[in-house]
Structure 1
Amino acid sequence: MSMTLDEFTRSVDPRCLPRILQIQSGIYVQGSVYEMYGRECCLSNGDLIKVIEIRITRFIAKGSNGINVDLPLDYPGLFRIVTDTRPYCGIQEIADSLRISSDRLGQPVFYTAGDLDHPDGTIKKGTIFRITGLKTVQGLECVDCELVQSEPKRRFELKLSVIGEFFECDDSQFYTLKELAEWKMSTGRTRTVTKVKSTHLKDDILPDPLEDYKGELTLTPVHEIQAIMQFRKDVVLIPPNLDVEVVDVTEEHDSAVFVRPLTLKDVFKEPTDTFPVVAEVIEKPWHVPEELAFICRSKKIVIQRAFEAKRVLASETRRGEQRRFLVPTSYKGRFKRRPREFPTAYDLEMAQSSTEQLHVVATRAFESHYSQGQYPVQVGDQFLVKKKPANNTGEGSENGEDKMDDMLTCAKIEGKNHKDVKIPMYLDGGFVEVIHDKRQYTICDICHGFPLPFNVKVSVRDLAVKEDILAAASGLQVEEEITDPYLLVSTLDLSECWEVPVNRTKMTVQLQQRWQGPATGAEQPTGHAVVEEIGEDCYYTLRRYAVANLQPPPRPPKKKPAVANSMRVKPPRPNKPVHVSSPKSPHCNFPRPGSMASDTFPRLKRNTIAVSSDRRSSIPPVLQPITVATLKSKDIPQEPEVDDLDDDSHEYEYIDEDELEFIRKKVQETAVLRSTGKGKPNTF
């Protein structure tokens, strides 16, 4: 039975591809060329095409203010999903609508609108579960599930025939448009998102169409069919809205008559015994480093093997737009250390090393009024953070107050003497590292010998490459080690052999015969690696999988102040980064500085003062050292009860710096007039 291309696109299951279609009829002259969106295709009656992929090429974004723009998949921005309120009527609809995979992006989370009967027990209403994969049990298709709110994780299966209402759960993760297209677009539905971060460069020629838009956006995907024709080697790109009718004849024809073009991702998934193999370059890559330009010049290449290689993620340490790099562990350059900056004492603790003491200088003053035993910090004070102990166990008092976990014990340098002091973890001050080490290190030495992130500068460039892009950077912050898929690619004569990144090289090849290579027993070709400069979207995607298994810095202590007749203020807990260096769940609650999620956590500005707002206390808040309460009453309010202060909610109001300066002047005028006995000043 014939159907239009658009009907085929909307009805076919992507898991059933490839499919062979035969052209039936259309309102066109046979042999004519259809040209839409820059794509050309010549179709005639009776032609056979093999559909290998149906993908989203762009989105049409519509906003509440009437905005209607086309967004390509490489749009440099990050988006958060608005939860779809329409229910799914069964597990079969979920499996048919969403792409489910073992990949973390392909594991949707739902909750049930009613009780579900299960052989292992009833699944209660509102139960949140994650679908982790598809499988077949005793001939029946099922989905693997795990309960989200249970420790340890409880796993179970649900048959595709299960009927009920299932709702999508809130998703706090950030996604690029490419990730939304590949993983989060439900078949037959649109997707509503909000823009949370823009990585659009200021010096770009084209303006950002969403630069000033803050509301919700409805994304409608625009698809494209990738197909192969019998007598063409290249991939044909067909818009699905062509007025052409087709018939599915997959069962009647052998797909072997078609050429099989593969992307590098497809080649990476090939069995190990496929390599080494000779490949013909069908679609050459764009914007490759100079070292990989031999791929563009060669008609045939040899893919030696597929593997996962380690790379070190590094960023420039400069204000404004930063460049990001992926540095191979084989990089031959040398680095020297550069001072690190630590916003809080918590960051000092995270930077503790088991090999050396950390020497820092305070750049901001701080004096604690909330707990005894905490040392006031002055600008210029020098401290030594001791080496990390072998058994790092916290100590605390029996009553739970003044815990060691809330303070950092370090040594204050006073001339030639050292005095042990305690600095509060929540101290929102500042420290700069003092460097005494003049040695030069390799990139592996830094990753294995020091806690990351770590600041360095190239002291000796890599002489094995023509242009060392790291040497031009004023400073680098080595952030973490990652693993990424690569192919070892060489020329036929082995004159060039380089590691080619799979996820960042867009090219199409056709595998041919197996490569014989040198005689048996000869050494395999040695591949070289290049330093890659990556974009902001790629950087944030890689950083999202960093581990977040550490806790945020402790709250300020909740105990009586040592000074009598004074009111206690709850200082704001600073937004502390978590410095880690290994892969993690994509749902990162405590990102590092510069990570894509850091802008979503409000941070106190330096030109504002935070005042605690206690809902259960009728006593007005105060400022230190000048209180707002003195402006409203001559009498100093009595100290509130401890029970009234034990409030777990941390809510803050903000006073503008100009308003605060006005208040200070009025208070000072009041004090001067009262001291001179000249009467009461004008109120304000």
Structure 2
Amino acid sequence: MFLYAYEILGLFKIVADKTPYLTMEEITRAIRIGPSRLGHPCFYHQKDIKLENLIIKQGEQIMLNSVEEINGEIMVNCGVLRNHQNHSFTLPLSQEGEFYECDDEHIYTLKEIVQWKIPKNRTRTVKLTDFSNKWDLTNPFPKGFYGAVILKPVYEIQGVMKFRKDIVRILPSLDVEVKDITDSYDSNWFLQLLSTQDLFEMTSKEFPVVAEVIEAPQGNQLPRNVLQPGKTIVIHKKCQASRILASEIRSNFPKRHFLIPPSYKGKFKRRPREFPTPYDLGIAKSEKEPLHVVATKAFHSPHDELSSVSAGDQFLVQHSQTTEVLCEGIKKVVNVLACEKILKKSYEAALLPLYMEGDFVEVIHDKKQYQISELCAQFHLPFNVKVSVRDLFTEEDILAATPGLRLEEAITDSYLLISDFANPKECWEIPAGRVNMTVQLVNNLSGDPGSFLVKTLVEEIPEEQYYMMRRYENSFSYPPPRPPKHPSVEETKLSLLNLAEEKTVGLPKSPKSLHVDRSKKLHSSQAGLDSKVPVGCQNDLADLEKDKRKTGKTAVAGTSASTEIFKNEKRQK
């Protein structure tokens, strides 16, 4: 048996409970159902359910969306998905039958499972996902343990005392008698405390409000002069705001992850991207400029109609198409990427199979500096950059020290707009889902607050929250299945040492947009790079190699809440 804080880093998959629920009322009493995406549990029934205008088939997945009173009767709003169309219906609490949990393919944090996914009077079996193995953290489980764990929450009571502002925590092991005296006291004598989530669930009409901070959030990326215990603040409104999710470019874990606001004033320069297959090249190409890459891995084509690749070959990506190849006397149609191979003084057409395993590195000719908004407007994400000019409007720019950043995607998140009561014109966006703060409402703010200046900060998020953001955001596209490898396929990985031994080959005369500045002298650490690769590409390869040697550390903080975990007997043998 183990005892762990429920905010321990790790992502888990839920094992469906095999014990059935016998009525809808039993489900609603045991499981939280609410507006959050976590509050929509799914069940299936052992037999067909015949409704007035719909038949729910045996084994069909039923999603429970909400519970409400309709015509004096408590009903559960449900839905089934058929042919990409949702069909809604209601079931009364008295609905009987054998309802079983559906398999859940999503991944959750331990905190989410404790708050939403553990039924009352039942335990929950979960499995640790392989995402957690990538984090440079101490594994809380015994060495060699690869089985499931059974979660049983241990709760504590948080309360407030009369005329006191601090929060009292009562442990569940405390053996005391409790008497209900609610009817004998005026609840106004006690503090009415609200969490960040409580504030966000208020209606828009209830803002702005004046509040006193009782418990301040932790973290050095927040306006500490505003969010302090005892400080009076103004909560102007709740809002949705956009951020760019970015990750540090490095080959080892842990990587740092950031949320960058559009108002960030630093400037970026482009960094070379790496592509594992021609399929990825086809996705990354744009109409704005040609995609110029250099191959870092050899590939020998098993078909005469397709091109072979040597380490150091350079290509201009054109477009995807199909072509016929002769395979054991039979003509087959394959998907290929049409490119122009850069020779000494000319170009040669090349067809690369999409399934080809060959690494490519982008050659950057663009030396312009960009604002974050310009990058998002002009280029498709994901995109690689490096901070060239730090944000001079912030005290400490945490992005400036990174070797490079991969701008992954634009997201929208929930924020509270907060200001110091003494300076209501200067507001800060505080993330509602990632800041734990407790406040006491003082009163509503009367009068029109007028216009105000909204300030934002770059937020560094831990690995766990990064995966939480990305798990439902993306539906990844994968290249087509690779056919069996041909016996003659040669795979020779190109290293910087290999490059240094190649012969000198120049680029042909190219359009102005592809001009390579040959006058720039190589840094001494790059002097041995093969001159077959242009100067820009030599620098790109050297930078990538340098980044892969760097390491970093991440600090992790725990919390006071805990979960009791029982070992399953399943272990690796």
Normalized against structure 2, the TM-score is what?
0.77
Secondary structure of 2:129's counterpart equals strand
Contact 1:292/1:498 (CA < 8 Å) preserved in 2? Answer: no
2:437 corresponds to: 507
2:361 corresponds to 1:428: no
| Matched-pair contact (CA < 8 Å) for 1:401–1:557 | no
Residue aligned with 1:294, SS: coil
Residue of structure 2 in register with 1:133 after alignment? 66
Give the distance between the partners of 2:333 and 2:371, measured in 1 at CA. Answer: 40
CA distance in 1, matches of 2:245, 2:111: 21
1:178-205 per-residue CA deviation (whole Å, 9 max, x = no partner) reads 111121111111011111236489876x
Correspondence for 2:306: 374
SS at match of 1:301: strand
Q: Secondary structure at the match of 1:504?
A: coil
Correspondent of 1:196 among 113, 116, 129: 129
CA distance in 2, matches of 1:160, 1:362: 63
Q: Which amino acid aligns with 2:444?
A: R
Instruction: Encode CA deviations 1:52-75: one digit per residue, 9 max, x unaligned.
Output: xxxxxxxxxxxxxxxx21111111
Cα deviation 1:485-505 (Å, max 9, x = unaligned): 112222222185322222222
Q: Match of 1:304?
A: 236
1:85 to 18, 43, 49: 18
Other structure's SS at 1:80 match: strand
Map of 1:87-106 to 2, 5 A cutoff?
87-106=20-39
Equivalent AA in structure 1 for residue 337 of structure 2: L
Query: What pairs up with 1:208-607 in 2 under 5 angstroms?
Result: 208-210=140-142, 212-246=144-178, 255-289=187-221, 291-296=223-228, 299-320=231-252, 321-369=254-302, 373-386=305-318, 403=333, 406-494=335-423, 497-516=427-446, 523-548=450-475, 551-556=477-482
Give the distance between the partners of 2:267 and 2:91, measured in 1 at CA.
55
Q: Comparing 231-240 with 89-98, which one deviates more in the overlay?
A: 231-240
Shift in CA distance, 421/158, structure 1 to aligned 2, threshold 3 Å = farther
Other structure's SS at 1:446 match: helix
The verdict on how the C-alpha distance between 1:113 and 1:396 changes in structure 2, with shifts beyond 3 A counting, is farther
Task: Measure the CA separation in 1 of the matches of 2:109 and 2:5.
Answer: 11
SS in 2 for 1:265: helix
CA spacing shift, 1:158–1:428, aligned 2, 3 Å? farther
Distance 1:109 1:396 in 2: 46
Q: How far did residue 156 of structure 1 move?
A: 2.5
Mark the CA change 1:267 to 1:133 in structure 2 (over 3 Å): closer, same or farther: same
Deviations 1:575-633, CA, capped at 9 Å, x for gaps: xxxxxxxxxxxxxxxxxxxxxxxxxxxxxxxxxxxxxxxxxxxxxxxxxxxxxxxxxxx
SS in 2 for 1:110: strand
- Contact 1:234–1:261, Cα closer than 8 Å, also in 2: no
Secondary structure of the structure 1 residue equivalent to 2:198: helix
Change (3 A) 1:199 1:88: same
> Offset of 1:240 from its aligned partner?
3.7
2:494 is matched with which residue?
none
Inter-partner Cα distance in structure 2 for 1:547 and 1:212: 32
**147-156 or 499-508, which deviates more:** 147-156
> What is the CA-CA distance between 1:432 and the residue it aligns to?
0.4
Pick closer, same or farther for the CA change 1:118–1:254 going to 2, 3 Å.
farther
Are 2:120 and 1:183 aligned?
A: no
Q: 1:296/1:545 Cα in 2 relative to 1: closer, same or farther (>3 Å)? A: same
**One-letter code aligned to 1:171:** D
Query: Would the alpha carbon gap of residues 463 and 200 (structure 1) be closer, same or farther in structure 2, given more than 3 Å must change?
Result: farther
1:167 counterpart (96, 100, 104): 100
Paired letter, 1:89: L
Q: Is the 8 A contact 2:11 2:107 kept in 1?
A: yes
TM-aligned CA deviation for residue 366 of structure 1 = 1.5
Letter aligned with residue 300 of structure 2:
E
2: CA distance between counterparts of 1:251 and 1:554?
A: 68
**1:5-58: CA deviations, max 9, x gaps?**
xxxxxxxxxxxxxxxxxxxxxxxxxxxxxxxxxxxxxxxxxxxxxxxxxxxxxx
Paired with 2:406 and 2:43, the residues of 1 have a C-alpha distance of 39
Say whether the 8 Å CA contact 1:78–1:195 is kept in structure 2.
yes
Structure 2: where are the runs of 5+ without partners?
Answer: 325-329, 492-573
Count how many residue pairs are aligned between Structure 1 and Structure 2. Answer: 483
Following the alignment from structure 2 to structure 1, what is the Cα–Cα distance between the partners of residues 458 and 133?
23
- Bigger Rg, structure 1 or 2: 1
CA RMSD of aligned residues (A): 3.0
Return the offset for 1:103.
2.4
TM-score (norm 1): 0.65
